[in-house]
Structure 1
Amino acid sequence: MAGTSPDINEDRIAEEAAGWVARLQSSDATERDRRDFLAWMNLSPANRAAYDELKGLWSELKDVPLEPKAKKAGLSRRTAIGNVIAIGFIALLATLAYQMGFVDRLRADHYTSVGQVSRFTLEDGTWVDLNTDSAIAVRYSAAERRIELLRGEAFFDVAKNPNRPFVVEDGTLSATALGTRFAVRVASGTLPGDVQVEEGRVEVAHLGERVILGAGDVARVTSKGSLSVSRTDVPNETAWRDGKLVFSGQPLKEVLATLGRYRHGQIVILDEAAANRKVSGIFDLADTDQALAVLEQNLPVTITHLTGMMVLVSSR
């Protein structure tokens, strides 16, 4: 398993703090939200410090004067520009909070930050491996064990209990375990959503269509909206559980899309020739910069780090 670095911890705390700032300013914040927030604050001084810093920024922006329409004509140019910047920044903060997973993490019972992989056990003995930037909500009842995959990817080693079906849903697919080990991934960017079975059987449902998957099968929703079943190497596809990423003859664009899930910022491919280069290899998901360096050494491509948040890839 990949360890959690201090940088990842700081990122996680900052993301959680920003999520709490946004949530507690919402009109639909509940008493449970406030209790959970206080519990989170009391976990560590770092949580409190991060929250205080972001709350201060929020307050500064919120207090920028926004004049009613009747007074707009009298606003100075500087005040008007300041108002626009403040409104835009707050809107951007809200959008980023959603896109970066703050909302999903507030809804989740378990989650990971970018670059983090986590393993834990649910109350029934089921083992869960949660991939980078992923979140699940646990909805157990006496009749069934239901997991909502809010974002990212999870691998389940399901504890057998025929009287309480184990169901994972991601908003598109529903996967019911029939005594098994399997992974579910939410579609994101160029990466498709899917269900992969390592052991046992899984029933996958989508819009009334149902298929039974066996070991080595993968199910995806096609562009036409139907279920497609094919074969795959599940241990390689889910090697992230052991801190590795395994590729076998895959286009560079797919490799970079996967690497991008484990780092902050964007990786941009500038030409089609580079995008379609085939890649085979095993990489350490905890060091994506090293993975990029290896790709540059072994492929006719140039990799340029513009900033810590932007990487350009082009043919050479």
Structure 2
Amino acid sequence: MKTPASTSDDEALGSDALARRAWDWLRLLTSREASEADVQQFRQWVQSSAAHQAAYREAKALWDTLKPSAGLVASAQPGLVAGYVGAQRNRARTRRAFLGTAMACAGVAGVALVYPPLGLWPAASEWGADDRTAAGEQRTLALASGVEVTLNTRTSMRREVVDGHMAGVGLLAGEVAIDLQGERPFAVVAGAGRSTARAGGFEVRYVGERVCVTCIAGAVQVAHPSGARRLQAGQQLVYDTRTAGGIVGIDPEQASAWRRGMLIFRQARLADVIEEINRYRAGRVVLLNASAGDRPVSGHFRIAALDQAIEQLRYAFDLDVQSLVGGVVLLT
């Protein structure tokens, strides 16, 4: 990725051009191509004038406003929620007005300049990752004889080697699928639990504070502070740092649809569907129509064509769409 130009005539640029320059810097800093020299150049650019600082704050504030949950914003800044409701009634709101609201929200987020939200770059807990995927990226690794690990979108993991042998991985965030054909046990550590199998296949998803373990074939032993569980094919378990839920039966085809490039939903909440879509695409889809969040969604969507999925949801629920810079889409 090309380093954004940092010329002395930046001051002569209009506000829109400076905004694009700020977004270019965000994209570079979050890519795998940013060097230490790029970081130093960015610091010089952003500190060189008040106009640069304002442009970057505006871009950052837009991301910040999309990070907090509705409950956090409502409790910390009730006026902002009222502003969003008003915005639903006035759909002709300008981009500048939205960015003004975003800057107000930035105080709620309280995120430092070097730690933008929404996965703009990996969180501190993911810095020790050996392998990482970006939004929409999937990768399969042969870590040892008879051991394949597939990383889903926005996934960070650490490799665990014991006595010279690949013993497992530490899932820091995201989702992995494990396919085993050997005899050695292989483990996935995620949160407070450890899932181990010798053959077959299983998947582990670690998003937020919850870990979901799904057995696709064979059997998986899940060790957790609350007790051990054994999953058979077609069974799933969800746990957090303190408790583990009960074992439930699932449809393996739906659970593993992401490996075939699909997202399958059956009577899922629209708000949850949008959050899942956000994991796979750059930018952010924001549902401002709160009354539609609980409406059920059933359907098959291609990961490679999620903008089409957004259009389908728009028509299905009679929503209006406003597209902003940086892949941000507002549904009202």
User: TM-score under structure 1 normalisation?
Assistant: 0.69
Identify which of 116, 134, 142 aligns with 1:121. 142
Q: Distance in 2 between matches of 1:63 and 1:283?
A: 45
Q: Go from structure 1 to structure 2 and tell me whether the alpha carbon gap of 1:233 and 1:130 turns closer, same or farther (over 3 Å shift).
A: same
**Matched residue, 1:176:** 196
Aligned residue for 2:323? 305
Gaps spanning 5+ residues in structure 1: where? Answer: 1-9, 22-51, 65-77
Q: Is 1:104–1:150's contact at 8 Å kept on the other side of the alignment?
A: yes
CA-CA distance at 1:271 after TM superposition: 3.6
Query: Cα distance, 1:144 vs. partner?
Result: 6.5
Q: Which has the higher contact order (CA 8 A, sep 6+)?
A: 1
Matched, 1:149 2:134: no
Q: Distance in 1 between matches of 2:119 and 2:309?
A: 29
Ranges of 4+ aligned residues in structure 1 off by more than 4 Å: 10-14, 59-64, 95-99, 102-106
Per the alignment, residue 87 of structure 2 pairs with none
Provide the residue aligned with 2:306 in structure 1: 288
- 2:248 counterpart residue number: 230
The 5 A counterparts of 1:96-115 are 96=117, 100-101=121-122, 103=124, 106-115=127-136
Count, aligned residues: 251
Distance 2:253 2:161 in 1: 28
Which whole-Å deviations, capped at 9, do the CAs of 1:9-34 have from their partners, x for residues lacking one?
A: x968852245x64xxxxxxxxxxxxx
**CA displacement at 1:146 relative to structure 2:** 2.1
Q: CA deviation at 1:230?
A: 1.0
Same amino acid, percent of matched pairs? 27
CA distance in 2, matches of 1:110, 1:240: 19
1:97-121 deviation line (CA, Å, top 9, x unaligned): 9873165665222211111111221
Once residues 28 and 214 of structure 2 are traced to their aligned partners in structure 1, the CA distance between those partners, rounded to angstroms, is: 28
Alpha-carbon distance in 2 for matches of 1:203, 1:270: 41
Contact 2:212 2:239 in 1 (8 A): yes
Distance 1:151 1:12 in 2: 22
* Mapping of residues 62-211 of structure 1, within 5 Å: 91-96=112-117, 100-101=121-122, 103=124, 106-142=127-163, 145-161=167-183, 164-188=184-208, 192-211=210-229
Find the counterpart in structure 2 of residue 74 from structure 1: none
**For residues 254-293 of structure 1, what are the structure 2 equivalents within 5 Å?**
254-293=272-311
Alpha-carbon contact 2:115-2:123 (below 8 Å) kept: no
User: 2:23 aligns to what?
Assistant: none
Amino acid at match of 2:231: L
Q: CA deviation at 1:62?
A: 7.4
**Corresponding letter in the other structure for 2:268:** Q
Q: RMSD of the alignment, in Å?
A: 3.3
In 1, the alpha carbon distance for the partners of 2:246 and 2:240 equals 6
Q: For 2:113, what is the secondary structure of its paired residue?
A: helix
1:55 Cα deviation after fit: 3.0
